Structures are given as C-alpha cells and as structure tokens.
A and B are shown apart, each in its own frame.
Chain A
Amino acid sequence: MNLFELFRKKSTAPVARDRLQVLLAHERSVIGKSDLLATLQEEILAVIARHITIDRDAVQIKLDRGASFSTLEIDVEVPLDATKLVRSPNKAKSGVAAPA
C-alpha cells in the first residue's frame, strides 16, 4: 500500500448503486416477462378453448426482447379432428411483432 492509497477515500457506495441498477434492470424484465407470458398463455388458451378442444400444452408462447422491437411468438398446436377448417399442416404458427 502506498501513501496515496492510504489517504484515498474508499468510495464503495457508487459501486453498490451501479451494481444494483444493472441487476434490477435485468431482474425486473425477467420477472415482469414471466408474469406477462403466464397471463397471455392463460388468456389465449381460454379464447381458443371456446372454439376448439385443445391440450393445455398445445399453446406455446415466446417473447424475444430486441433493441427496437420485441417479437411475440404464439405457437398453437391444433389437433387434426378439432376442426375441419384446419387440414394440413396441423400446426398453425403466427408471429406478432410488438413494440418493445
């Protein structure tokens, strides 16, 4: 330890503030996202279930957060006998772009 270090004030609080800001920005997005996705999954499932009988696992939702916009991907697996409107392929896929 040199003389300079001996007299320099240790500023640890700004480090704490910066670490918290980075960490919480990440945690808020992750926790917020999982809540949003769970809600979307439930509501989309409810809407589809009104018209066709599908399995709970048949609706997959993914949210990809981008810099300028996020992509919400809804993947619904419709069984062959569920409706005559959908013949083949038996997988309906839709991508919706939403502003971030």
Chain B
Amino acid sequence: MGKVLVVTSGKGGVGKTTSTAALGAALARGGENVVVIDFDVGLRNLDLVMGAERRVVFDLINVVQGDAKLAQALIRDKRIDTLSLLPASQTRDKDALTVEGVDKVIAELREKFDWVICDSPAGIERGALLAMRNADLAVVVTNPEVSSVRDSDRIIGMLDARTLRAEKGEKIDKHLLVTRYDAGRAARNEMLKVEDVLEILSIPLLGIIPESEEVLKASNIGSPVTLNNPTSAPARAYFDAARRLKGETVDVVIPLERTGLIGRLFGRRVA
C-alpha cells in the first residue's frame, strides 16, 4: 500500500508544482514507484513542468467519470520509468471532480505505487480540499513572506479538520517546506528566518529550498530541477527532503550555489 502525499500551501505561486515535480522525481530516482497527480483542474501546469504537455491524451476527470481507464491516462516519464504523471483537465470545470470518483482513483493508485503525490491547486476551496482529502501526509510549501505564512497557517488548520484521516480522529503528518529562501537576506534581517516560520507554524521542517535561477531554467526546459541539474543547490535540497520523507534522518543544511569567480567576487543577489 502506497502513501498519499499532498503538496499544498493555500497561496498560489509559492512552488507547489515545482516541489511536486522535484520531490516526485527525487523519490523515483531513489527507486520508489511514484505517481504525481495534478489537481488543478482548468489550470493544469504539472504536465508542463514535467515536460509531458504534448503527451496528454486522457486526464484525471476522464478517469473519475469513467471515460478512460487509469492505465490510459497515466503518462510514464521518459527519463525515469518509475515516475508517472496523471494530468488534470485543461478544458473541464473543476466541479466535474466528484468525491467518490477521486477516492476511487486514489485507492487504485495506492495499490500500484509507493508514493501518490497530489499537487493541490491554490486556495482553500473544493479543489484544494479534494487534493488533501485522502492524504496520509502533507508537505506545506511556504515562502518566507507574510502572506504565504498566513495562508499556510490556514491550510494547516484545514489539514487537521477536513481530511479523511482527521475525520476518523487520526493524525496527518504535516511537514514544512520553505522555498525561495535567501540565507543572505535572512541574515540581514530583510527576510523571515526559517526559525521564525517554524516557530509561527509549529510543524516539523522537511527542507529549505534556496532561491535559485536553476528552478526557472528547469521549468523552461520542462524537467524537474532534481533531474535537470541534480547537483544544483535547490536539487540537493529537494533530494535531502525526499530522503526525509522516506524516514531517513538528514541534517538540514542550506545548500549554497556553486558560483564562479566573478559570482564569488561580486556576490549574487536576487531582486
């Protein structure tokens, strides 16, 4: 029986899809059988970040409504054969997803894969609730910034109240993934420190992903950052996070970008 993981945040644009692709690929590279599911019906993007946008034939809604078999909708990654994608529909309405249908699809995927990773849409409405509903554990993606932290707090509350596990009185494991972190700015007191975010949200830390141009480079090409440049700072941080998800104990360090001489002389700042 596989584990169901939801990647969620409340706020949009903090890195849910990037993190889903990067963690999924990192786990798959470690030999795990992984499927990533896009729950953002109408605004799908996981296919694009994974570089599979031209291979989408059937989607989650087709499967939920019984118009396609699960095996027909799953897209196997061309780089890693233990990684699959179940895309969202781009044309249909999000109301086409039913609770029973989603439960059935997730139950089927649980049988086939070690990890079922659900990429949640932004917001706290139906789509986000359906994405978290079956989760055993959650990765809460947060930027060190006030609106993102506030929205994450709200989502943590919903994970504790609105998931199947919560309704059965069971615990759901929640992990904090801080993304777009700039250690330099945090040291200069210009950005919330990881410790501040941890103290406010009080859930265990899964990892710190540094702000990096590698993330955009990877999505430009359509490759998870952990595959596109596995030795880059964000990729190493995602690999560490993936190992922690598997239960390994890995010290949290903030990986630094390996900069050239010019970069080291002048430093690199992100505006």
Contact = CB atoms under 8 A, between A and B. Distances in A.
A20 B149 CA distance: 8
Interface string B115-153: 000000000000000000000000000000110011001
Interface in A16-53: 16-17, 19-21, 23-24, 27-28, 31-32, 35
Interface string B63-103: 00000000000000000000000000000000000000000
A24 B155 CA distance: 12
Interface in A28-81: 28, 31-32, 35
A9 interface: yes
Given A20-B150, A23-B150, A13 B196 contact: yes
A12 interface: yes
A84 interface: no
Interface string A1-22: 0000000011111101101110
A11 B189 contact: yes
A34 to B, nearest CB: 11
Nearest to B196: A17
Interface residues of B, number: 17
Interface string B138-177: 0000000110011001100100010000000000000000
B186 interface: yes
Contacts of B149: 20
Contacts of B154: 27, 31
Nearest to A21: B200
A9 B187 CA distance: 11
B146 A24 contact: no
A10 B200 contact: no
B193 interface: yes
A20 B199 CA distance: 11
Contacts of A20: 146, 149-150, 200
Interface string B184-226: 0010111111001000100000000000000000000000000
15 contacts: A9-B189, A10-B189, A12-B189, A13-B186, A13-B190, A13-B196, A14-B189, A16-B196, A17-B192, A17-B200, A20-B200, A21-B200, A24-B150, A28-B157, A31-B157
6 A-B pairs with least C-beta separation: A11-B189, A17-B196, A13-B189, A16-B146, A24-B153, A13-B192
